[in-house]
Amino acid sequence: MPKVTARQVLISALMAALFAPVYLSSGSAAFRPAWFTARVAILPASVWMVLILIAVFVLMVWVVSGGVYGRDDDDREAGR
Amino acid sequence: MNAVAIGFFVLTILVTLGVTVWAARRSRGRADYYAAGGRLTGAQNGLAIAGDFMSATTFLGITGMYFMSGVDPSAIYYLAPLVGLPLMLLWVAGPLRRAGKFTLGDVMASRLRSPGLRVFAGASAIVISTIYLVGQLIGAGGLIQILFGIGFAPAVILVGVLMTIYVAVGGMIAASWVQIIKSVLLVSTIVLLSAAVLVQAGGFGPLYARAVAAHPLGEGLFMPGGGKMDLFSSVSLAFGMSVGILGLPHLLIRFFTVPDERAARRSAVVATSIIGFVFALMFLVLGPGAIAFVYGQPRFDGPDGLLRGGANMASIHLADALGGNVLMGIAAAVAFATILAVVAGLVMAIASAASHDLYAVLSRRKDKSEHEELLVFRLAAGVMAVVAVALAFAFQHENVAFMSALAFAVAASANFPVLVLILYWPRLTTAGALTGGLVGLISSVALIVIGPAVWVKLLHHAAPIFPSDYPGLLTAPLALIAAILVSLARPAPRMVEAAAE
């Protein structure tokens, strides 16, 4: 059985934080804190989209290049 | 009727049937029919997963949503796979490939050898995939009606017959290659349309200026806050759409088609990259392009002054505006190929769960052969196609988006918590897993029924009992807690020993 690693939890938390501005800003303005509207929701959504895409790809490359599971496990699995 | 569209429509059917015949010749036993022999590469499987996720609803529906109200709430639908698939890569892809063989029932049985849990896995796969399939068929019937001028009933029956042939004759090899071909076609078409938008608009700046001038929302098109949802609903919708991906059986069984964990992880990366690229083009170019070139143009409006065929047709009208009949014919045919590939993947998930999980447990005969199980697989594909077509007729006037939301909510609440606990928590018991799955299933369906979409709009009550249409943020944690509490309260003897060790 695989063990939950600190890196898995950390990356998942990072993902949640990364997407939070878009999710929070999608609701009605009446439910958003004033600081959020003033400091975060002023960015156009397309800017968020590009930032998130870049961040997601960096995280994924890190994960598959051994950053989370380690090269040894992967190589053993692949018979190398 | 558009002759180019009809030509591509016929070509799509011929090519996909040719792939099915080729796949049938390569398929020998259960491993081929259920999991393409585990021979797909990470890149091929990634294309197939991306294809499974990019349904006609995605291609046409999300651009239509952008066409109506700008980035919000379409941003949630765009971004959900960019959350869900990396989470799948981090938590599920590798362990799932290691634990499973053909179905989710295999994964559950690998930890807890309970026939009841295998039946639950099979039943939940069938329920979730059938809800999703019926929604896709209703959408497909409506779209084919608009795209090719064929009536709703013949359109749905045609799709039902084709999806049965793909799965029953060609199994997972056919379903995968039809999906791969469709993904390549869809990505190429979206790149082509995006290039045409940017060339004809003169770049991003002029495109956005033109969209702002054409739409009543003006610059509000590009700013968040237009979702008109309360905070709970927007976060819960995003949560359900994201983790629902981790519970959708037709996506999860794709990880059994690759040889090892490394390839499974690569699949998730390739799928996320393709979906991210395509969605970025739709979000940054096609959505604004549809507004700039189609919004308010009288030739695309019907007699009622609204867009002909509804907002879902915005992409098709955009193709018409940019490249006339030829580009519109290509876009329509790709939408049709998209429909065929997605429903084939769903029937694959249903038929394999019926034959490998349900029949294997519920049939009392012990001398069941592989040949017999494959016969049940083919029969299940045919029977479920008939059932799904009948349900599509019965519910053809229901809201398709609601049915998709229901499938995602059930997947996020019933499958996802149990799957994660099975993969990562050694103290989970059979009773805990079953309780968690049932609590997730019942609570998600119940809260959707008493929410605004069903309780008020469908059943015509004055006010909803539960204030949101998106219960995932409540029901998924509820299922997780129920599974943990029952497992801790009644630990199985083996688990107690294992924990002591």
pLDDT digits (tens, 9 = 90+) for B143-172: 787 777 788 899 999 999 999 999 999 999
Which of B246, B255, B262, B275 is the best residue to mutate to test the A interface, defined by the most A CB atoms within 10 Å of its own CB? B262
Q: How many CB pairs under 8 A join A and B?
A: 135
Check CB contact of A63 with chain B, cutoff 8 Å. yes
Q: What is the ipTM of this complex?
A: 0.73
Distances in whole angstroms, Cα of residue B322 to Cα of each of B188, B199, B281, B287, B329: 16, 10, 16, 14, 12
Q: Is the model's pLDDT at B115 over the cut of 70?
A: yes
Query: For residue range B211-231, what is the model confidence (pLDDT) as tens digits?
Result: 999 998 888 787 766 556 777
**Given CB atoms, is A55 within the 8 Å cutoff of chain B?**
no
Q: Nearest CA to CA, how far is B387 from chain A (Å)?
A: 37
Residue segments in chain A with a per-residue pLDDT below the cut of 50: 72, 80
Q: Is the pLDDT of residue B299 over 70?
A: yes
Three-class SS of residue B229? strand
Percent of chain B exceeding pLDDT 90 equals 43
Give the list of residues 6+ apart from residue B230 with CB closer than 8 angstroms, or none: A27, A28, A31, B467, B468
Q: Which among A22, A69, A77 has the least Cβ separation from residue B75?
A: A22
* Lowest model confidence (mean pLDDT) among B8-22, B304-318, B341-355, B465-479: B304-318
pLDDT for the residue B142: 77
Candidates B223, B227, B284; nearest CB to A27: B227
Q: Where are the alpha helices (DSSP H) in B411-492?
A: 416-424, 430-449, 472-489
Torsions phi, psi of B29, nearest 5? -130, -160
- The helix (H) or strand (E) run that includes residue B246 is none
Task: Verify whether the Cβ–Cβ distance B79 to A52 is below 8 Å.
Answer: yes
What is the pLDDT of chain B when averaged over all its residues? Answer: 87
C-alpha B344/C-alpha B125 separation (Å) is 15
CB atoms within 10 A of CB B14: 10
N-to-C CA span, chain A: 22
d(CA B195, CA B332) in angstroms, rounded, equals 18
Chain A residues with CB inside 8 Å of B231's CB? 24, 27-28, 31-32
Interface test with A, best of B49, B62, B65, B71 (most A CBs within 10 A): B71
pLDDT of residue A28: 55
Chain B: give the shortest CA distance to residue A76, in Å.
Answer: 10
CB distance from A17 to chain B under 8 Å?
Answer: no
Q: Do A69 and B276 touch (CB under 8 A)?
A: no
Q: How many Å lie between the alpha carbon of B4 and the closest alpha carbon of chain A?
A: 34
Q: What is the predicted pLDDT for the residue at B499?
A: 46
- CB proximity A15 to B under 8 Å: yes
Inspect the interface and report whether the beta carbons of B260 and A29 lie closer than 8 Å. no
Instruction: Count CB neighbours of B290 within 10 A.
Output: 31
What does the pLDDT read at residue B171?
Answer: 92
Pick among B72, B82, B208, B428 to test the A interface (most A CBs inside 10 A)? B82
Tens of pLDDT, residues B40-88: 999 999 999 999 888 877 778 788 888 888 877 677 777 788 888 888 8
- Give the pLDDT mean for B138-145: 81
CB B110 within 8 A of CB B269: no
Residue B276 is nearest to which of A11, A53, A69, comparing CB atoms? A53
Residue B130 neighbours by CB under 8 Å, 6+ apart: B350, B384, B387, B388, B391
Of B86, B233, B262, the CB nearest to A60: B86
Write the CB contacts of B152 (distance below 8 Å, at least 6 apart in sequence): B141, B142, B145, B396
Residue B91 distance to chain A (closest CA, Å): 7
The pLDDT confidence band at residue B500, using thresholds 50, 70 and 90, is very low
Candidate from A27, A52, A60 with C-beta closest to B229: A27
A4 touches chain B (CB under 8 A): yes
Question: In this predicted structure, what is the pLDDT of residue B77?
Answer: 78
pLDDT at position B130 over 60:
yes
Looking at B28-37, B83-92, B391-400, which range is the least confident one?
Answer: B391-400
Q: What is the pLDDT of residues B171-197, one digit of tens each?
A: 999 999 999 999 999 999 999 999 999
Q: How far is CA B472 from CA B228, B355, B359, B433, in A?
A: 19, 30, 31, 18
Where is pLDDT greater, at B149 or B317? B317
Min Cα distance A39 → chain B (Å) is 13
A6 in contact with B, Cβ within 8 Å? no
Choose the most confident range, by mean pLDDT, from B96-110, B175-189, B224-238, B355-369: B175-189
Question: Among B78, B223, B269, whose Cβ lies nearest the Cβ of A64?
Answer: B269
Q: Is pLDDT at B480 greater than 70 in this prediction?
A: yes
The reply to whether residue A31 touches residue B231, judged by beta carbons under 8 angstroms, is yes
Residue tagged 């996320």 (tokens): B272
Q: How far apart are CA B22 and CA B182, in angstroms?
A: 17
3-state secondary structure of A27: strand
Contact at CB, B73 and A26, closer than 8 angstroms: yes
Residue scoring higher pLDDT (B367 or B432): B432
Q: What percent of chain B has pLDDT over 70?
A: 95
Instruction: Identify the pLDDT of residue B496.
Output: 46
Candidates 1.20.1730.10, 3.40.190.10, 1.10.287.3510, 3.40.50.880; CATH matching B3-243+253-394: 1.20.1730.10
Domain ranges in chain B are 3-243+253-394
| Type of residue at B227 | G
Is the Cβ of A24 closer than 8 Å to some Cβ of chain B? yes
**Tokens representing residue A55 in the block:** 């961040």
- How would you write B297-321 as a 3-class SS string? CHHHECCCCCECCCHHHHHHHHHHH
- Phi (first) and psi of residue B301, to 5 degrees: -95, 150
pTM (two decimals): 0.87
Contact state of A29 with B225 under an 8 Å Cβ cutoff:
yes
Going by C-beta distance under 8 Å and a sequence separation of 6 or more, which residues neighbour residue B85?
A: B49, B53, B245, B268, B271, B272, B275
Q: What is the mean pLDDT of residues B470-479?
A: 93
Return all residues near B432 (Cβ < 8 A) that are at least 6 apart: B421, B482, B483, B484, B485, B486, B487, B488, B490
d(CA B125, CA B152): 27
Q: What is the pLDDT of residue B497?
A: 46
B101 touches B373 (CB < 8 A) = no
Cβ contact, residue pair B231, A24, below 8 Å: yes
- Return the biggest CA–CA distance within chain B: 74
| Cis check: omega of the bond before A21, within 30 degrees of 0 | no
Query: Crossing angle of helices B3-26/B152-201, nearest 10°?
Result: 110
B71-75, B86-90, B333-337, B379-383: range with lowest mean pLDDT: B71-75
